[in-house]
Amino acid sequence: MNFALTPEQAQLRQAAREFMRRECPPEVVHTALAEGRHSEALWRRMAELGWLGVAIDERYGGSGGDILDMAILMEELVRGEPAIGPYFNTVCFGGKSIGFFGSEAQKEFFLPRITRGECVFALSITEPGGGTDVLGAMQTRAERNGDGWVLDGAKMFTSAAQRADYLLVVARTNRRVEKPAQGITLFVVPRAAPGITVRKIDTLVPIEDTNAVFYDGVRLPADAVLGEEGRGFYQLLATLNNERILGGAAALGCGVAAYEAALAYARQRTAFGKIIGQLQAIQHYLADMATELDAARLMVHRAAWLQSQGRECGAEATMAKMYAADVAVRACDRAIQIHGGMGLTSEVEVARYWRLARLWQIGPITNEQCRNIIAQLRCELPRSY
């Protein structure tokens, strides 16, 4: 058994950490937050460093890394979340989905553009009727029209839609099916297509703007279909492990950032004539944070390793995302406590990390639904919903 990163992985981690410290100070993050969009300069730099193509096949200009490389990068990049904007949507989801299911023409068109930082994706899956029971709630539909399609419906929480070049939209294309999972199709929709309206949703989450998106008679060519018509939901299922592992890595990044901020504060803040880091209560908080974050990282890396070996990891990926999100929220909460009153001000970053960590308990899948899935896959109990 070997728990060490390879020299290349350790180098990637170090490079990403130094890059974020150097090029993404709090001012860059706060500007991105105020503007509701990521930093174009940072995005370009990440493209130059090859990080937008980290898991894209070398044939399409990427560096051909695996999910563990992505998880390592994700953990480090998340400190600058609003500034790195649609990294998760574009690199972890858009690039991966096109790599898995795209036609040769779609791969040749999209993957080099993603790698070069010329193409941003948004994910339009969740609907106003619900994200957990996504099939039960789905009203968005696409109907055949000549050679192409016409798309109608509404989506909630499509993050980065206001800036994206393309939207990955999930729509029902056939109602006469035996199971709700059948008859669903994935579409790659140009953001500028006539009939699309984007309306910002105000949230407390410090990320690039998230939006309601309305699709009114949007005409699409036949080659807007990603993968196989009617098999879209099964295709989504095939990307879920990636999504959960990287969600776990992102949550972990928030928790680690909060822990490091709290540790630095505990070393310099004084009370009763000594640094608060000398007080046992504060030491115990920090010891618990360090322990839980280590455990979460081991779970994320185990799931990523299994996935990279092509082995079954549904339970492990779901556990990793759920546990990392819970641990991150606890770590951020303790970091606020260690900062005392300052923890709830915008002078320090820990409350921002808490709001971000909180998202990962809800998206891309809620932690309640994770527990349902773990009960089924690991405990082999009957489906509860």
Ligand X SMILES: Cc1cc2nc3c(=O)[nH]c(=O)nc-3n(C[C@H](O)[C@H](O)[C@H](O)COP(=O)(O)OP(=O)(O)OC[C@H]3O[C@@H](n4cnc5c(N)ncnc54)[C@H](O)[C@@H]3O)c2cc1C
Nearer to ligand X, 102 or 363 (CB): 363
Q: Is 366 in the site for ligand X (CB under 6 A)?
A: yes
Least distance between ligand X and beta carbon 357 (Å): 12
Residue 228 annotated in active site:
no
Q: Is 362 in the site for ligand X (CB under 6 A)?
A: yes
Q: Which of 126, 140, 173, 307 binds ligand X (CB under 6 A)?
A: 126
Residue type, 331: A
Least distance between ligand X and beta carbon 380 (Å): 18
Segment contacting ligand X by CB under 6 A, of 27-35, 144-152, 205-213, 343-351? 205-213
Q: Is 359 in the site for ligand X (CB under 6 A)?
A: yes
Least distance between ligand X and beta carbon 354 (Å): 14
List the Cα angle 209/86/359 in 5-degree steps. 65
Reference 347, options 30, 81, 19, 37; nearest CA is 30
Instruction: Name the DSSP letter for residue 165.
Output: S
Reference 269, options 351, 354, 348; nearest CA is 348
Q: What's the number of CA atoms in the CB half-sphere (13 Å) around residue 76?
A: 23
- How far is it, in rounded angstroms, from Cα 113 to Cα 172? 28
Q: Which of 9, 173, 210, 318 binds ligand X (CB under 6 A)?
A: 210
Please report, to the nearest 10 degrees, the dihedral formed by the alpha carbons of residues 24, 27, 32, 35 taken in order: -160
Q: Is 203 in the site for ligand X (CB under 6 A)?
A: yes
State the residue for tokens 């010891």.
287
Size of the site for ligand X (CB under 6 A): 25
| Contact map string, positions 155 to 194, toward ligand X, x by CB under 6 A | --xxx-----------------------------------
Segment contacting ligand X by CB under 6 A, of 10-18, 180-188, 204-212, 297-305? 204-212
Q: Which of 82, 131, 153, 232 binds ligand X (CB under 6 A)?
A: 131
Segment contacting ligand X by CB under 6 A, of 61-69, 128-136, 236-244, 332-340? 128-136
Q: Which of 368, 378, 379, 381 binds ligand X (CB under 6 A)?
A: 368
Residue of 243, 292, 316, 349 marked catalytic:
243
State the residue for tokens 């999504």.
243
Q: Which of 205, 266, 315, 317 binds ligand X (CB under 6 A)?
A: 205
Cβ–Cβ under 8 Å, residues 246 and 88? yes
Asked, as a colleague might, if the bond just before 364 is cis with ω within 30 of 0, I would say yes
Least distance between ligand X and beta carbon 137 (Å): 7
Burial class of residue 164 (count of CB atoms within 10 Å of its CB; 0-12, 13-18, 19+): buried
The interface with ligand X within residues 139-158 (CB under 6 A) comprises 157-158
Cβ–Cβ under 8 Å, residues 238 and 310? no
Least distance between ligand X and beta carbon 58 (Å): 28
Reference 333, options 261, 240, 245; nearest CA is 261
Segment contacting ligand X by CB under 6 A, of 37-45, 145-153, 313-321, 364-372? 364-372
Nearer to ligand X, 254 or 276 (CB): 254
Least distance between ligand X and beta carbon 102 (Å): 19
Q: Which of 25, 48, 64, 130 binds ligand X (CB under 6 A)?
A: 130
b/e string for 175-207 if b means 16 or more Cβ within 10 A?
Answer: eeeeeeebbbbbbbbebeeeebebeeeeeebbb
As beta bridge partners, residue 167 has 122, 189
Nearer to ligand X, 123 or 315 (CB): 123
Region of 380 (left: φ > 0; alpha: ψ -120 to 50; beta: rest) is left
Nearer to ligand X, 280 or 384 (CB): 384
Beta-strand runs (E) in the chain: 121-124, 141-145, 148-155, 166-172, 184-190, 196-201, 210-220, 225-226, 270-271, 274-275
- How far is it, in rounded angstroms, from Cα 97 to Cα 99? 5
Q: Is 376 in the site for ligand X (CB under 6 A)?
A: no
Residues designated catalytic: 243
- Residues in contact with ligand X by the rule CB under 6 A: 89, 123-126, 130-132, 157-159, 203, 205, 207, 210, 359, 362-366, 368-369, 372, 385
